Amino acid sequence: MSNVMNSIPNMQAENIGSKLKPLYMIKGFIELPCWNGYYLNDEAYKGREDRVITGGRIVQFVDGEIAPDKSLHFSAEQINAYTYLMKHQEDIKHSIVQGLKREFPRLLSDEYASWEQEAPHFPKLSEEREDFDFQDYIGPESISISEDSKDEVAYINWQFRCRWDIEHGFQVVTHKDRVIEIGPDVDIWNIYKDNGTYEQELKAYNDRVSVSCPRKQKKWWQFWW
């Protein structure tokens, strides 16, 4: 790990456990103005309009290292991912929106086949013109900068809110401006395939559990979504 402290701004060690049994995670926020106005939460039950992202502020987690003095240490790959995201946020958003356009028919047939797809909270395929961007239907609730990396840049895991599944939303994995996966529950093994560590990770997994086929593994941050 790098010895650079707080090199990703607006982050802190947060205790998600108790005083007797503390469990710390690195949590803060990032500001990505390109997502301003995108859907964030349904507040119709409060008699108010849907909440949208304002100021570009999105919750951010980093799978970094917390020292005993609570100082934060991030890898160079994680810092590179943060820097790339800040510089290329529009390109990344475009890739995510276009990726969702490509994947949405599959999601409708595979993941949401039994859902009421004619309900108003589902975008219609007929709406998906060239300039359609899902703004009224989706918005990133949080991102997590992973410890996994490729070409000296870490992967970023996005948790999106969406109007068609307000309880669970969906997830996206990106590397730079590439979309690796989109779905209700992303699979860490697809990252291993992308960065060339699949065989190594599979062997390590099999050595640990003595089985031939891995199940989906969740990162620590996914247990809180």
The answer to whether 142 touches 59, Cβ cutoff 8 Å, is yes
Does residue 2 lie in a domain region?
Answer: no
Does residue 5 lie in a domain region?
Answer: no
The pLDDT, as a whole number, for residue 200 is 92
Tens of pLDDT, residues 33-90:
999 999 998 765 555 667 899 999 999 999 999 999 989 999 999 999 999 999 999 9
Does residue 4 lie in a domain region?
Answer: no
For residue 156, give its domain range.
11-224
The pLDDT, as a whole number, for residue 213 is 56
Per-residue confidence at 129, pLDDT binned at 50, 70, 90?
Answer: confident
The pLDDT, as a whole number, for residue 215 is 58
Does residue 85 lie in a domain region?
Answer: yes
Integer Cα distance of 213 and 218 in angstroms: 16
DSSP 5: B
Integer Cα distance of 27 and 43 in angstroms: 25
Q: How many CB atoms lie within 10 A of CB 155?
A: 27
Average pLDDT over residues 133-142: 95
Q: What angle do CA 5, 218, 67 make, to 5 degrees?
A: 20
The pLDDT, as a whole number, for residue 83 is 97
Q: Which residue has the higher pLDDT, 127 or 45?
A: 127
Q: Structure pTM?
A: 0.86
Does residue 88 lie in a domain region?
Answer: yes
Q: Is the pLDDT of residue 140 over 90?
A: yes
Per-residue confidence at 2, pLDDT binned at 50, 70, 90?
Answer: very low
**Scanning the structure block, which residue is given the tokens 């969906």?**
170
The answer to whether 155 touches 81, Cβ cutoff 8 Å, is yes
Q: At what angle do helices 188-195 and 198-209 cross, to 10 degrees?
A: 130
Q: Is the pLDDT of residue 1 over 50?
A: no
Number of domains in the chain: 1
